[in-house]
Amino acid sequence: MQLVILAFDQSKTHSGWARFNAPGEPAFIRCGSFSCDQPGTDDPADIFAGEVKALVKEFKPGFFAWERSKPSISSYAVKAKADLGGTKPPGWTVNAKQLILPELQGVIRGMARAYGKPTACAYPSTWRAAIFGQGKGNLTTIKAKAEARLYCERFHINASNEHEAEAACVALWAASTPEFRWALDKARQRAEVAA
């Protein structure tokens, strides 16, 4: 028996997804990606929800997984322009791309709950250490994405970009979680009762 895992590496600009029939061969993972950052759109989460709903309709997943967003938003100093008095007060801003991540994460969680499906999510450092190996949980974003591409190449997973590669890695991580094993056991029990 297998369950379909639908996994995401979500972001406003480029979200990757992966469908994995688990347990199974990684080479059969199917990947794709989409963008919520479309001209004339003021609600990227609404576009994201539409994309997720279409994937759910197509693949009928039994399990959802995603990369968990950070609990805090990063801020950084910016060069401030002089005010009318000629002084330059210190300026701070936030990483605007991070602001949307909790909302996108909520869309995935909400979709899973609406369909009554179990879930698992992990911070990037958690799933990267589990998939890439000890000491690789804290790679920089650029190095981690490159590692995900190499990992997919090694296991013959057809990922067209790093977002798809990371979604595939999240799917592989999800298949190893206690939450997934519990969901698979429950599905097997239901199949036995129905037989």
Euclidean distance between CA atoms 16 and 55, whole angstroms: 12
Q: What angle do CA 69, 76, 8 make, to 5 degrees?
A: 20
Q: Assess whether the previous peptide bond of 89 is cis (omega < 30° from 0).
A: no
Residue 92 has pLDDT above 90, yes or no: no
Residue 37 has pLDDT above 80, yes or no: no
Tell me which CATH homologous superfamily contains domain 3-194.
Ribonuclease H-like superfamily/Ribonuclease H (3.30.420.10)
> Over the chain, what is the mean pLDDT?
87
Question: pLDDT above 90 covers what percent of the chain?
Answer: 65
DSSP string for 136-189: -TT--HHHHHHHHHHHHHHTT---SSHHHHHHHHHHHHHTTSHHHHHHHHHHHH
Q: Report, as an integer, the average pLDDT of 136-154.
A: 92
Of the listed ranges 82-91, 151-160, 185-194, the least confidently predicted one is: 82-91
Query: Each residue of 94-130: pLDDT tens digit?
Result: 555 556 788 899 999 999 999 999 999 999 999 999 9
Q: Which residues contact 9 (CB under 8 A, 6 or more apart)?
A: 15, 16, 17, 66, 67, 163, 164, 166, 167, 170
Task: Return the domain boundaries, the chain.
Answer: 3-194
Q: Which two tokens mark 116? A: 């009554």
14 or 77, greater pLDDT? 14
Query: Furthest-apart CA pair in the chain: how many Å?
Result: 80
Do 112 and 119 form a contact (C-beta atoms < 8 A)? yes
